Amino acid sequence: MPINEQIAAALAGLGVLAQCDHNISSLTTYKVGGRAAIFVRAETMQDLLLVARVVCETGVPMIPLGRGSNVLVSDHGFAGLILQLGEVAQQILLPRAEVRDEMQDGVAVACRVTAGSAVALPVLARRTAAVGIRGFEWAVGVPGSVGGAIRMNAGGHGSDISESLVSAQVLDFRTGEISTVLTPEFGLRFRASDIDDQQLIISGTLSLTYGSPQESLQMIDEIVRWRRENQPGGQNAGSVFVNPVPGEITAGQLIDRCGLRGFRIGSAEVSIKHANFIQADVGGSAQDIVTLMRHIQRVVGDTSGYELRSEIRLIGFEKES
């Protein structure tokens, strides 16, 4: 990938922390797409603050990457910096183990859980359930990270992260400052928020409740079973489009009604198992996926009048693609 002045300056400022012309496709669940001009995995707070300073000084485009479960990288790659958090954002802080009642005066007892933004949602769901903390079981089937879940208000099975999120630690790349931001300031809504690429989630604090480990683990088993029975595995990024009328009309239903289940463009195919999933062939093309997405949007719009909004973050694509 060509190195422009911004990228050259950023590489110089980051030193050994930066990896040049790095393959990003392997860090996404689609496993297709191109390379990033710069890739950094920040393991320490010192690493993270250095990245913030360099981004601020050079103006190099920067995109945070979690577990890559809802992103698609262009075949041409990304002419900027992709930042992924490592050990600095992997911690899980649970309440101290002690004897406590599940209910007080008929009300479930609340507790606080803090998790780093790089923590996988299924891991946090199982960790909390195992110690008798309930309210996060829904996340066991979502293959993303805590930070990504906050940014897009991820959810499923009748809940989402806005139901329990109290606050998050945020690094603002415009100022280099870290602050605690309360949930209302994020503008969380159905599968969206007001968080931008200059605001990096470092950790989130959740308000959950004490309960029965057995009940929570049973709920988790039921969610996992349902997902295996109703959603495909393989190379995909989960639901491609946001449900246009949550709780009433799903994107999958609209796509199905148009007869697009199994429809293929090149190396991308609408899943036979779930019409709101697009499967990518091994060694396939990111452009094929985007072209299929646009085709689905046109057909559904012409047929039903609904404009489907993508849940997938497109990186390195021109707006018209």
CA pair distance 278, 283, nearest whole angstrom: 15
- Per-residue pLDDT, averaged over 204-227, amounts to 97
Domain segments of the chain: what residues? 5-89, 92-228, 232-315
At residue 90's C-alpha, the angle toward residues 185 and 154, to 5°, is 45
Min mean pLDDT across 103-112, 227-236, 252-261 is at 103-112
Q: Which residues contact 168 (CB under 8 A, 6 or more apart)?
A: 117, 150, 180, 181, 183, 186, 201, 202, 203, 204, 205
Q: Is the pLDDT reported for residue 102 higher than 90?
A: no
> Hey, which CATH number is domain 92-228, 1.10.3720.10, 3.30.465.10, 3.90.660.10, 3.30.428.10?
3.30.465.10
Beta-carbon contacts of 151 under 8 Å, excluding residues fewer than 6 positions away, are 193, 195, 201
At residue 96 the predicted structure's pLDDT band, cuts being 50, 70 and 90, is confident
Q: What pTM value is reported for the model? A: 0.92
Q: Are 152 and 191 contacting, i.e. CB atoms less than 8 angstroms apart?
A: yes
Active site residues: 191, 239, 311
Structural fold of domain 5-89: 3.30.43
Question: If one looks up domain 232-315 in CATH, what number appears?
Answer: 3.90.78.10
The overall average pLDDT reported for the chain is 94
Percent of the chain with pLDDT over 90: 92
User: Is the pLDDT assigned to residue 320 strictly greater than 60?
Assistant: no
- Asked if pLDDT for residue 99 goes beyond 60, the answer is no
Rounded CA-CA distance 301/120 in Å is 35
**Spatial CB neighbours of 146, under 8 Å, sequence gap ≥ 6:** 115, 116, 117, 118, 119, 121, 124, 201, 203, 204
DSSP type of residue 94 = P
Task: Tell me the C-alpha to C-alpha distance, in Å, between residue 207 and each of 112, 126, 146, 292, 303.
Answer: 5, 16, 14, 40, 43
For 252-278, the pLDDT digits (tens) are: 999 999 999 999 999 999 999 999 999
62-64 vs 78-85, strand pairing mode:
parallel
Mean pLDDT, rounded, for 170-185: 96
pLDDT tier for residue 1 given thresholds of 50, 70 and 90: low
Same fold, 92-228 and 232-315: no
Residue 108 has what pLDDT? 81
pLDDT of residue 321: 36
